[in-house]
Structure 1
């Protein structure tokens, strides 16, 4: 896996993934940025959310669950001192579908957290406390 980060002036950087996708990273105005993209730590949080969501949906599809929507909402706390690392992250899943079985949703979230999500497992090894919960929304 590769990435390329190119300075684009002020506190802005253009990031390109090895697969050719691009995103602009920028700092807040009080740090010389113009708020033209997410902060690098926000990207880490979004990466964690994407990683665990990918796992949960994959597991639920293999379990033949009729999911119509999956939203992961993440909240993180950071240390007050430099380096301002994540200390706690909470991931809340809202999973909507038809006749979803709670035990399978719970299992998918748990498997992602404990076995499959490389991002969350890596962050936990670095001392971040990550918690998860979910809600199921029934649709017709």
Structure 2
């Protein structure tokens, strides 16, 4: 796996993954694009989302969509690393079993999500979930 980051101007950069996909990052207060630290949060939420959706689909749950609300607390001193990250999964669908969602979130946190597991070596990473049952 590889990537390249190239300076655009100011404190803006374009990051290109080895697979050829690009994203702009802004190190100047996230005025024009996500900051690198915001990208870390988004990476953790995205990685975990892939796992949770996949596991729920395999469990034949009627999931319409999944959102992850991720919140990161940073140290007050430099470097302002994350000290705590919380991922809250909000699962929308019909007749979704809480036991399946709990299992999916736990498997992602403990076994599958490389980003979250890597971060948990130095950051307090916690998880919760909510189910929004939709009529239908």
Same fold (TM over 0.5): yes
What residue number does 2:22 align with? 22
**CA distance, structure 1, for counterparts of residue 50 and residue 113 of structure 2:** 9
What residue number does 1:119 align with? 115
RMSD: 1.1
What residue number does 2:40 align with? 44
Question: Mind listing any 5+ residue stretches in structure 2 that lack a counterpart?
Answer: none
TM-score, normalised by the number of residues in structure 1: 0.93
**CA distance, structure 1, for counterparts of residue 52 and residue 70 of structure 2:** 15
Corresponding position: 1:134 with 2:129: yes
TM-score, normalised by the number of residues in structure 2: 0.95
Q: 1:83 offset after TM fit, Å? A: 1.0
What residue number does 1:70 align with? 66
What residue number does 1:58 align with? 54
The secondary structure found in structure 1 opposite 2:49 is: helix
The secondary structure found in structure 2 opposite 1:135 is: strand
Runs of 4+ that moved beyond 2 A: none
Q: 1:52 offset after TM fit, Å? A: 0.3
Q: 1:45 offset after TM fit, Å? A: 0.6
Question: Mind listing any 5+ residue stretches in structure 1 that lack a counterpart?
Answer: none
